[in-house]
């Protein structure tokens, strides 16, 4: 069975995300290492790093990913935005190196009207730049390019765009893919039938390669297939429905990969616990 978990808050301290994921019975975790709505953040305190690593070890070393700030646009054409994006992402990679986090998830960016070709070229250059500047080339860190819904001028709504980014980099060993079920469904990849799921995975294998997938986001979709609108829904309550998740969870190619929820929740995390229960039932 895949390693099922959720994105959890770091409110009160980075280490407390492990308390939350344990509370819902998760086996994988995603966090923001800092406030994702700010360009700059204070450096991590040594005590915060120590407590995070200690608590992680107590949880058995479960897979952990960081999700980079939504402000970062690797494909930005405006020099100011490109520079701020690079600086913010370098800081994120350095924080993850300090914490020992091996996976950093990021959206490929938006070309802003310049076209897919220009956007992919900019993103490829930025990925190489940030890996060098962060000092990550001698580490096991991987930047995971997240599939997107293809909304507006966003890159990553087509698998071939992600494949081209992977192939374009000199540092391809430090790049991989995070697949978001809501996003690919909204982008037009149907998961609801065995035939649709098979076609989707064949396209993913063709353009990306299953071996380049290291993480999943498990989200149902409030919007229909091909809507290109990114709106997450609880498992089995959206337009994907339970069968799409059943196909994925029982796909032997992904049997030990981390898969995390990114669905709404209250302070008691009851929604996470229920969604994980549903996923485990579908995997049975």
Catalytically active residues are 37, 67, 70, 107, 146, 180, 183, 217, 230, 232, 262
CB 169 within 8 A of CB 127: yes
Give the residue among 167, 155, 61 at the shortest CA–CA distance from 108: 155
Place of tokens 């070393």: 61
Spatial separation of the C-alpha atoms in residues 211 and 251, rounded to whole Å: 14
* Torsion angle (degrees, nearest 10) of CA 85, 86, 90, 92: 20
DSSP per-residue letters across 6-32: EE---TT-TTHHHHHHHHTT-S-EEE-
Distances, alpha carbon 267 to alpha carbons 14, 235, 272, 277, in Å: 16, 19, 10, 18
Give Cα 13 to chain centroid, integer Å: 21
């Amino acid at each position: 069975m895949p390693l099922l978990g959720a994105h959890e808050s770091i409110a009160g301290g980075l280490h407390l995300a492990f308390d939350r994921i344990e509370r819902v019975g998760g086996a994988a975790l995603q966090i923001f290492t800092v406030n994702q709505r700010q360009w700059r953040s204070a450096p991590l305190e040594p005590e915060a790093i120590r407590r995070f690593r200690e608590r992680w070890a107590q949880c058995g070393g479960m897979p952990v990913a960081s999700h980079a700030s939504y402000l970062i646009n690797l494909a930005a054409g405006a020099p100011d935005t490109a520079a701020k994006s690079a600086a913010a992402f370098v800081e994120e990679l350095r924080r993850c190196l300090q914490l020992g986090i091996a996976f950093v998830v990021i959206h490929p960016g938006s070309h802003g009207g310049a076209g897919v070709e220009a956007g992919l070229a900019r993103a490829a250059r930025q990925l190489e730049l940030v890996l060098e500047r962060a000092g990550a080339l001698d580490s096991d860190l991987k930047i995971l390019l997240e599939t997107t819904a293809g909304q507006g001028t966003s890159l990553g709504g087509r698998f071939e765009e992600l494949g081209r980014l992977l192939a374009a980099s000199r540092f391809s060993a430090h790049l991989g893919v995070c697949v978001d079920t809501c996003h690919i469904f909204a982008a037009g990849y149907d998961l609801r039938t065995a035939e649709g799921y098979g076609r989707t995975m064949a396209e993913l294998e063709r353009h990306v390669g299953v071996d380049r997938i290291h993480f999943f986001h498990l989200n149902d979709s409030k919007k229909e297939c091909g809507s290109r609108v990114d709106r997450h829904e609880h498992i089995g309550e959206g337009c994907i429905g339970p069968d799409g998740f059943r196909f994925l969870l029982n796909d032997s190619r992904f049997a030990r990969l981390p898969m995390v929820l990114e669905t709404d929740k209250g302070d008691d995390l009851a929604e996470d616990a229920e969604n994980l229960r549903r996923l485990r039932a579908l995997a049975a």
